[in-house]
């Protein structure tokens, strides 16, 4: 059974940092493109960041570029999202997702991705 399990969310003040983790199981994800999306209340789920299987291909939404960093440890089947200089508008449920096709450049659309986690809540207070 394929599973993606996010952790590391929580409540943080503006300007603070959080590190999200996503543990994948059920198959190897080492050749998948891995990504993070987020969904704020009343809004569409939006792309945040993605990283190709080789690690050399990364992509970030303009709203997080320079503040967030996506990384992965293929040996641990885990992907991370380091979030610095957090803003109240970063408040959302963050979802980990995987694209088994390993497309390069990474996709930015929800339907580019086949596997999804249940999400972890990130709340940034002002």
Supply the DSSP string of the chain, one letter for each residue.
--EEEEE--EEEETT--EEEEEEEESS--TTSEEEEEEE-TTS--EEEEEE-TTSS-EEE-TTTTTTEEEEEEGGGTEEEEEE-S--GGG-EEEEEEEETT--SSPP-SGGG--EE---EEEEEE-
Cβ contact 48:57 at 8 Å: no
Residue 114: predicted pLDDT: 96
Q: Kindly state the average pLDDT of the residues 56-67.
A: 95
- Of the pLDDT bands very low, low, confident and very high (cuts 50, 70, 90), residue 73 is very high
Residue 55: predicted pLDDT: 65
Residue 28: predicted pLDDT: 87
Please check the confidence at residue 109 and state whether its pLDDT lies above 90. Answer: yes
């Amino acid at each position: 059974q394929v599973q993606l399990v996010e952790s590391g969310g929580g409540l943080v003040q503006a300007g603070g940092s959080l590190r999200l983790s996503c543990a994948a199981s059920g198959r190897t994800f080492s050749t998948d493109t891995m990504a993070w999306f987020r969904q704020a209340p009343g809004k569409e789920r939006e792309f945040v960041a993605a990283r190709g299987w080789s690690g050399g291909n990364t992509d970030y939404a303009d709203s997080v570029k320079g503040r967030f960093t996506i990384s992965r440890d293929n040996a641990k089947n885990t992907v991370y999202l380091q979030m610095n200089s957090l803003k109240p508008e970063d408040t959302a449920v963050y979802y980990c997702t995987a694209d088994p096709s390993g497309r390069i450049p990474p996709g930015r659309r929800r339907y580019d991705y086949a596997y999804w986690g249940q999400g972890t809540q990130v709340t940034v207070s002002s």
